[in-house]
Amino acid sequence: MLLGEADLKKGDYQSAKGYLIEARKVSTEKSGNVDWLLFRASFLAGDYRTASEMLDSSFSNGKTVGDLKALVASDRRFAEMGKLNEFRKFYTIINGREPVKLSSRS
Protein backbone atom coordinates (compact mmCIF):
# COMPACT_ATOMS: atom_id res chain seq x y z
CA MET A 1 0.00 0.00 0.00
CA LEU A 2 2.86 2.37 0.84
CA LEU A 3 4.46 1.88 -2.58
CA GLY A 4 1.13 2.62 -4.26
CA GLU A 5 0.62 5.73 -2.19
CA ALA A 6 4.17 6.91 -2.96
CA ASP A 7 3.70 6.40 -6.71
CA LEU A 8 0.35 8.19 -6.56
CA LYS A 9 2.07 11.19 -4.98
CA LYS A 10 4.82 11.07 -7.63
CA GLY A 11 2.22 11.06 -10.42
CA ASP A 12 2.95 7.51 -11.64
CA TYR A 13 -0.70 6.50 -11.64
CA GLN A 14 -0.38 3.19 -13.53
CA SER A 15 2.29 1.94 -11.14
CA ALA A 16 0.29 3.17 -8.14
CA LYS A 17 -2.76 1.33 -9.44
CA GLY A 18 -0.77 -1.90 -9.77
CA TYR A 19 0.60 -1.71 -6.24
CA LEU A 20 -2.81 -0.86 -4.79
CA ILE A 21 -4.53 -3.71 -6.63
CA GLU A 22 -1.95 -6.06 -5.14
CA ALA A 23 -2.39 -4.53 -1.66
CA ARG A 24 -6.13 -5.06 -1.97
CA LYS A 25 -5.64 -8.72 -2.97
CA VAL A 26 -3.35 -9.57 -0.05
CA SER A 27 -5.21 -7.57 2.58
CA THR A 28 -6.90 -9.68 5.23
CA GLU A 29 -9.75 -7.21 5.68
CA LYS A 30 -11.64 -4.62 3.68
CA SER A 31 -10.17 -1.16 3.84
CA GLY A 32 -11.82 2.02 2.67
CA ASN A 33 -8.39 3.62 2.58
CA VAL A 34 -6.94 1.16 0.04
CA ASP A 35 -10.10 1.40 -2.06
CA TRP A 36 -10.01 5.21 -1.84
CA LEU A 37 -6.39 5.33 -3.01
CA LEU A 38 -7.16 2.81 -5.76
CA PHE A 39 -10.14 4.94 -6.84
CA ARG A 40 -7.90 7.99 -7.14
CA ALA A 41 -5.05 6.17 -8.92
CA SER A 42 -7.45 4.45 -11.35
CA PHE A 43 -9.26 7.70 -12.12
CA LEU A 44 -6.03 9.56 -12.78
CA ALA A 45 -4.77 6.65 -14.92
CA GLY A 46 -7.94 6.90 -17.02
CA ASP A 47 -9.45 3.59 -15.86
CA TYR A 48 -12.86 5.01 -15.00
CA ARG A 49 -14.61 1.64 -14.64
CA THR A 50 -12.23 0.50 -11.89
CA ALA A 51 -12.29 3.97 -10.35
CA SER A 52 -16.09 3.88 -10.12
CA GLU A 53 -16.05 0.39 -8.56
CA MET A 54 -13.45 1.45 -5.99
CA LEU A 55 -15.34 4.64 -5.16
CA ASP A 56 -18.44 2.57 -4.50
CA SER A 57 -16.43 0.11 -2.40
CA SER A 58 -14.75 2.88 -0.41
CA PHE A 59 -18.19 4.26 0.50
CA SER A 60 -19.14 0.79 1.74
CA ASN A 61 -15.98 0.70 3.85
CA GLY A 62 -16.08 4.01 5.66
CA LYS A 63 -15.47 6.86 3.23
CA THR A 64 -18.18 9.51 3.14
CA VAL A 65 -19.91 11.87 0.76
CA GLY A 66 -17.95 14.63 2.48
CA ASP A 67 -14.68 12.92 1.53
CA LEU A 68 -15.70 12.87 -2.14
CA LYS A 69 -16.94 16.46 -2.11
CA ALA A 70 -13.70 17.61 -0.46
CA LEU A 71 -11.63 15.79 -3.09
CA VAL A 72 -13.59 17.26 -6.00
CA ALA A 73 -13.40 20.75 -4.47
CA SER A 74 -9.67 20.58 -3.71
CA ASP A 75 -8.28 18.75 -6.75
CA ARG A 76 -9.27 20.12 -10.14
CA ARG A 77 -8.23 16.86 -11.85
CA PHE A 78 -11.48 15.39 -10.50
CA ALA A 79 -13.68 18.34 -11.49
CA GLU A 80 -15.08 16.72 -14.63
CA MET A 81 -15.84 13.42 -12.90
CA GLY A 82 -19.55 14.23 -12.65
CA LYS A 83 -19.78 14.36 -16.44
CA LEU A 84 -18.40 10.87 -17.00
CA ASN A 85 -20.83 8.06 -17.67
CA GLU A 86 -19.06 5.68 -15.27
CA PHE A 87 -19.87 8.02 -12.38
CA ARG A 88 -23.55 8.69 -13.18
CA LYS A 89 -24.70 6.97 -9.98
CA PHE A 90 -22.66 9.57 -8.04
CA TYR A 91 -23.98 12.54 -10.06
CA THR A 92 -26.03 14.05 -7.23
CA ILE A 93 -23.15 13.77 -4.77
CA ILE A 94 -20.58 15.26 -7.13
CA ASN A 95 -22.75 18.00 -8.61
CA GLY A 96 -24.98 18.73 -5.62
CA ARG A 97 -28.17 18.45 -7.64
CA GLU A 98 -30.30 16.03 -9.59
CA PRO A 99 -29.45 15.53 -13.27
CA VAL A 100 -31.63 17.45 -15.72
CA LYS A 101 -34.16 15.11 -17.28
CA LEU A 102 -35.00 15.72 -20.88
CA SER A 103 -38.63 15.31 -21.82
CA SER A 104 -39.35 13.06 -24.75
CA ARG A 105 -41.53 14.40 -27.51
CA SER A 106 -43.91 12.08 -29.28
10 domain-assigned = yes
SS (H, E, C) the chain: CHHHHHHHHHCCHHHHHHHHHHHHHHCCCCCHHHHHHHHHHHHHHCCHHHHHHHHHHHHHCCCCHHHHHHHHHHCHHHCCHHHCHHHHHHHHHHHCCCCCCCCCCC
Per-residue pLDDT, 27? 82
How much of the chain, in percent, has pLDDT values that exceed 90? Answer: 54
Domain of residue 64: give its range: 2-95
105 domain-assigned = no
Residue type, 52: S
pLDDT at 70 over 60: yes
91 domain-assigned = yes
Please state, in angstroms and rounded to a whole number, the distance separating the CA atoms of residues 3 and 90: 29
104 domain-assigned = no
Is the pTM for the entire model greater than 0.95?
no
pLDDT, tens only, 10-61: 999 999 999 999 999 998 767 778 999 999 999 999 999 999 999 999 998 8
103 domain-assigned = no
Domain count, the chain: 1
Query: The domain spanning residue 58 has which CATH number?
Result: 1.25.40.10
23 domain-assigned = yes
Please state, in angstroms and rounded to a whole number, the distance separating the CA atoms of residues 89 and 51: 13
